[in-house]
Structure 1
Amino acid sequence: MMPNEFHLIRGRVLPADISRPVIAIGNFDGLHRGHHAVIDAARELAKELHRPAAVLTFEPHPRSFFKPDAPLFRLTPETIKAKILARYGLRAMIVLPFDTAMAATTAEQFINDILFRELNVAGVVVGHDFHFGKGRGGTPHSIAEACRKDARAALIIEALLEKGAPVSSSAVRAALAEGDMPRANHLLGYRYLFESEVRHGEKIGRTLGYPTANLRLPENSVLKQGIYAVRVAVGRKVYDGVASYGRRPTFDNGAPLFEVFLFDFSGDLYGQTLTVECVAWQRGEIKFDGIEPLIAQMDKDAAEARRILALPIDPEAPSLLPL
């Protein structure tokens, strides 16, 4: 086993090198700057106690369990969340199934049976608005009090405010829906990204001089349609590029597609999984009267994407590629 190896743990059995962890608990969708505050506190507490730091989260998202018919755009699916946490220096992500049994677990059972007996935590860190247990009966203060009585550490982290409003996953989704990538990325504390396997398309881009990789956005994505400046990881190598997300009104006006053209790349991408960073939204979709004006606009879009991607990276929203 490698020293400080990151573990993705599905269930309650911890490996020996993650014994008595300090855990941050939450859904952490997006791993935004508000979540960073909770996770950073857990990491610092773990350092003080000489214990490993981990995150405890749930799959599916509890909102999807209770409202299965209500679409939920997950900013960071499980695989991406684990990769980002590993980058942040956490030792493990513990994923508990949110099912009928979990929904029926009382707050007292969650603390005593899961946190104390099964996971044997050395400490717990939660956000100020964390509620848990049957009927959301558990509060941050009930965890803190139980930890105090059992000689375990606990911290409650207040909300991180941005212009008077809490940094939240909802605020990130709203910014993405508006195409406001600077705001979305600032709230996240890194550039928004997603993963997708390259799928076969109709190969229209090749005939226009812009061969594209056809990708699938995360389920229920609210990303604004239009043209994006992007950075794309192919394995461990990163390329600049330009992407079109939309219904291709000049052609078929069909289901939305996310198509990426990589600058200075040659090769076959079919079947590979790409990680795409959305750096900037450039413009909305336009229906052209013919192929020539479309190609002329694509040339302008590519030039503008190159200009944007040559700018210095915002230190408050760094690139995580290659992830």
Structure 2
Amino acid sequence: MERLDSGSAVPPHLRGAIVALGNFDGFHLGHQAVAGRAVEWAKAEGRPAIIATFDPHPVRHFFPNLPPFRLTTLDQRQRIFGEAGADAMLVFHFDDKLAATSAEAFVQSLIDDYHAAGVVTGTDFTFGKGRGGNVGLLTQKGQSLGLRTEAVEPVLLDGEIVSSSRIREALQTGDCATAAQFMTRPFAVEGMVQHGDKVGSDIGYPTANIDMGKYLRPAYGIYAIRGCLPGGRIVDGVANLGIRPMFEPPKELLEPYFFDFSEDLYGQTVEIEFIQYLRPEAKFDSIEELTAQIARDCEHARQILAATPRLP
């Protein structure tokens, strides 16, 4: 699947597309409904389907000092959008220029610059300077310009609106199950394996250390996890996310330990799926107590993962 940047020309074969428009961080059930309608519409008319997103998130642009809250990277979104049936991902770079663009001018740009034939959004979608545009304006302006529009209602699950904010709340309390239910997949962190202090290796549990970067921080603690390695191989394991209270100095890391695995992953990119929260971080009186607890954590994680089907 192709990735288009908002500063580049749309190639001829992707013009006249039906565009799903939103932030789509997390790409949860509500986002999937919007994108699914765009893909369905595009197929019905023999048009390309494009899913558009914004980077950085508009909230990050206006409030740069907020704690990390990202649920997916652009690379993850590109893969997920492709699996959803899109032909391309369009990335709007959210900068001062875009922030100052009026809602009317943005709609005009969808036609003039991106050659969209139709746009699908959620009913709560807002856009343009000062969030001055909404679905009503998009429809009205679109009609005058020949741009067709559709809006998809929010998705409810057990009477609750599915939203990225609700997913973040769940993860921050260690509730991986709710996050996975809303996203239809586990929350996953992708990053390059870096060299660490070799503490895990010294105690018999070598870890693949990953910097959390701009991802949301789920609750610190121990998790049953799955890792997707280069080439698509899936491995089970357990991970510590936090500041390692047994060791000095405190250092925030995601440290997955993969079961029955001894290969060198340094410098390679892996993706870690958070399957279930096991316990908070803790400081033990000795390394022996720590290793005994890790062994119990591994056994607990193995039991959980054995009962948790892997996604296709």
Q: Does 1:88 align with 2:84?
A: yes
Match of residue 119 from structure 1:
114
Match of 2:212 among 199, 214, 217: 217
Change (3 A) 1:118 1:220: closer
CA contact (8 A) 1:191 1:319 kept: no
Instruction: Note the C-alpha offset of 1:319.
Output: 3.1
Once the two structures are superposed, residues 149-199 of structure 1 have per-residue CA deviations (whole angstroms, 9 ceiling, x without a partner) of: 444431111111234332111111111100001011111111111111111
Tell me the secondary structure at the aligned position of residue 75 of structure 1.
coil
The residue that corresponds to 1:264 in the other structure is 260
Q: CA deviation at 1:248?
A: 2.0
Q: Given that residues 111 and 147 in structure 2 are in contact (C-alpha distance below 8 angstroms), is that contact kept between their aligned partners in structure 1?
A: no
CA deviation after TM superposition for structure 1 residue 298, in Å = 0.9
Cα drift, residue 252 of structure 1:
2.5
- Structure 1, unaligned stretches of length 5 or more? 1-5
TM-score, normalising length from structure 2? 0.95
In 1: Cα distance, 2:220 partner to 2:57 partner: 26
Judge conservation of contact 1:159–1:166 (CA < 8 Å) in 2. Answer: yes
In the TM superposition, residue 253 of structure 1 has moved relative to its aligned partner by 6.2
**1:220 Cα offset (Å):** 5.6
Correspondence 1:46 to 2:38: no
Tell me if structure 1 keeps the 8 A contact 2:223–2:301.
yes
Cα displacement (A) at 1:283: 0.9
**SS of 2:116's equivalent?**
coil
Instruction: Find the counterpart in structure 2 of residue 183 from structure 1.
Output: 178
Q: How far did 1:202 drift?
A: 0.8
SS at match of 2:209: strand
Task: Tell me what 2:276 maps to.
Answer: 280
For 1:55 and 1:230, the matched residues in 2 are separated by 29
Aligned-pair Cα RMSD in Å:
1.6
1:71 correspondence with 2:63:
no
Distance in structure 1 (CA, Å) of the matches to 2:29 and 2:227: 23
CA distance in 2, matches of 1:293, 1:86: 46
Distance 1:150 1:50 in 2: 21
User: Normalized against structure 1, the TM-score is what?
Assistant: 0.91
Contact kept, 8 Å, 1:73 with 1:218, in 2: the verdict is no
> Are 1:242 and 2:208 counterparts?
no
CA distance in structure 2 between the partners assigned to 1:45 and 1:200 by the alignment? 48
Q: CA shift at 1:17, angstroms?
A: 2.3
User: Is the counterpart of residue 201 in structure 1 residue 193 in structure 2?
Assistant: no
Alignment deviations for residues 75-101 of structure 1 (CA, whole Å, 9 cap, x no partner): 112111111111221111111221122
The 10-residue stretch of structure 1 (242-251 or 272-281) with the greater mean CA deviation from structure 2 = 242-251
Aligned-residue identity in percent: 41
- 1:98 and 2:94 aligned: yes
- In the alignment of these two chains, the number of paired residues is 310
Looking at structure 1, the residues matched to 253 and 119 of structure 2 have their Cα atoms a distance apart, in angstroms, of 42
State the alpha-carbon separation in 1 of the partners of residues 213 and 188 from structure 2: 10
1:287: Cα distance to partner? 1.5
Gaps in structure 2 of 5+ consecutive residues: none
